[in-house]
Amino acid sequence: MSVCVRFAAALLAIASFAAATAAAQDPAAPRAEVVTAAQALQDKVVAWRRDIHAHPELSNRETRTGELVAEHLRSLGLEPKTGIAHTGVTAVLKGGRPGPRIALRADMDALPVTEQTGLPFASKVTDTYRGQTTGVMHACGHDAHTAILMGVAEALVGMREELPGEILFVFQPAEEGAPEGEEGGAALMLKEGVFEEFTPDAVFGLHVFSTLNADQVGVRAGPMMAASDRFGLKVIGRQTHGSRPWGGVDPIVASAQIISQAQTIVSRQMDISKQPVVVTFGAINGGIRYNIIPDEVELVGTIRTFDEDMRKDVFARLNHIAEHVAAANGATVEAQIPADAGNPVTFNNEALTERMRPSLAAAAGAGKLVELPLIMGAEDFSLYAQQVPGLFFFVGATPVGEDPAAAPSNHSPQFDVDESALDLGFRAMLQVALDYLHDGES
């Protein structure tokens, strides 16, 4: 055997090994009916998203959006229920064949953000939020989620006869949190019985995300997004003249010490090799004038955790620090830790995630399904996923070729969703739904 032939043989061996490896990694082709539906409905999904984007509504105020959704579902021959958890809409599609039951969820609310995208369909809407006039913007991409699910509903209705099982469409208000003094979001949808009337075998949801490119889908099994808890502290001293601090009790100094001491919860006390923890003070309010020591100071903030025991432990430690540091200053504290029910960890059911990974990969294409790191943000999808096995995945929002790390993030006034993400989100959600239903056909 000549050197040359041996070299050629070695090359061939390398080439066939590379081909085999690529074949092993190549995702399955997407379902033909998904490709056809995406082509047929893409223009509609884009138009809905632009319309919803131009008419954003704050949490629990999604009246127009809810009506748009309900009207569309009616036009498909479904019988939507409206006014659930204020403005929510649900509808059930029964397939022509027996099979499993799934729920597909989209959120509909916008944020008190003044849009700076310069898009032709940019929001010019203003509203009142916590007593202040503000711009309103779909700065988290829920316009995209709503439009995608409207399209997926239309596609599935078109396949009704051959469809095994039943699908509950959930269009949810107030994912970003209900206004103060109101209930809302997934918690209220569940309280009003959305999963009692129709108990799904699995629930699916998606989110557009600036940290991925618009040709990428991101997922993670197990804990994926943090539990989020709001806290409030009122540090109570005794008001006195700024020149005579000994004549009162200074809640500003006590607050400063509480804030400093609270930093040791993460840095010195929690086992952050197990799961990450964040404690953030977001606002301090106290005092009115340079030479008056005020009666009290209010502190508010957020706690992010990934483990239920650690979550409760942080509550206890922050309470302990607030109480004892205040006492050491002669002050008292009224603590609300947590200040409300909060959001639990968004947990992707492991078996369900592994089962649906090939569906996500088929939609995204080779190399475009990425494993996400833990996300410190929170989602009230977590509440549905506490009831039944859930899978929540991300679709990139940043145009292909741009650096996602440099792109304006969700909640930024410059946040934008590349319209190709609408197509990918639609195909991913439809592929997941169809694969689950057909795999579980009874």
**Catalytic residue IDs:** 109, 175
Position 110 contacts Zn ion (CB under 5 A): no
Query: Looking only at residues 172 through 191 of this chain, which bind Zn ion when binding is defined by CB under 5 A?
Result: none
Which residue lies nearer to Zn ion by CB, 55 or 145?
Answer: 145
Ranges within 2-31 binding Zn ion (CB under 5 A): none
Amino acid sitting at position 336 = Q
> Cβ(299)–Cβ(232) under 8 Å?
yes
Cα 20 off chain centre by? 38
Question: Smallest distance from the beta carbon of 84 to Zn ion, in angstroms?
Answer: 19
By CB under 5 A, the count of residues binding Zn ion is: 1
Closest separation between CB of residue 262 and Zn ion, Å? 25
Q: What whole-number distance in Å separates Cα of residue 435 and Cα of residue 442?
A: 14
With respect to Zn ion, which residue has the nearer C-beta, 34 or 110?
A: 110
Nearer to Zn ion, 103 or 106 (CB): 106
Inter-residue contact 145 to 208 (CB < 8 Å): yes
CB of 176 to Zn ion, least distance (A): 5
Binders of Zn ion in range 210-239 (CB under 5 A) = none
**β partners of residue 52:** none
Nearer to Zn ion, 140 or 167 (CB): 140
Stretch that binds Zn ion, among 58-66, 117-125, 135-143, 271-279 (CB under 5 A): 135-143
| Shortest separation between residue 334's beta carbon and Zn ion, angstroms | 29
- Other C-beta atoms lying within 10 Å of the C-beta of residue 124: 12
Q: How far is the CB of 410 from Zn ion (least distance, A)?
A: 6
**Sign, Cα dihedral of 356, 360, 362, 366:** negative
In the chain, % helix, strand, coil (3-state, to 5) comes to 40, 25, 35
Q: What is the DSSP string of 313-381?
A: HHHHHHHHHHHHHHHHTT-EEEEESSSS--B--EEE-HHHHHHHHHHHHHHH-TT-EEEPPPBSS--TH
**CB 142 to Zn ion: min, Å:** 6
For Zn ion, the closer of residues 140 and 434 by Cβ is 140
C-alpha to C-alpha distances, 174 to 30, 185, 268, 286, 299, nearest whole angstrom = 33, 4, 36, 30, 25
Residue number, 165 or 185, with CB nearest to Zn ion? 185
Closest to Zn ion by CB, 31 or 207:
207
Among 140, 249, 265, 421, binds Zn ion (CB under 5 A): 140
In DSSP notation, 168-237 reads EEEEES-TT-PPTT---HHHHHHHTTHHHHS--SEEEEEEEEEEEETT-EEE-SEEEE-EEEEEEEEEE-
Q: Which stretch binds Zn ion (CB under 5 A): 43-51, 133-141, 304-312, 354-362?
A: 133-141
Question: Does 338 sit behind a cis peptide bond, omega within 30 degrees of 0 on the bond before it?
Answer: yes
What's the CA dihedral at 379, 384, 388, 394 to 10 degrees?
-40
Binding site for Zn ion (CB under 5 A): 140
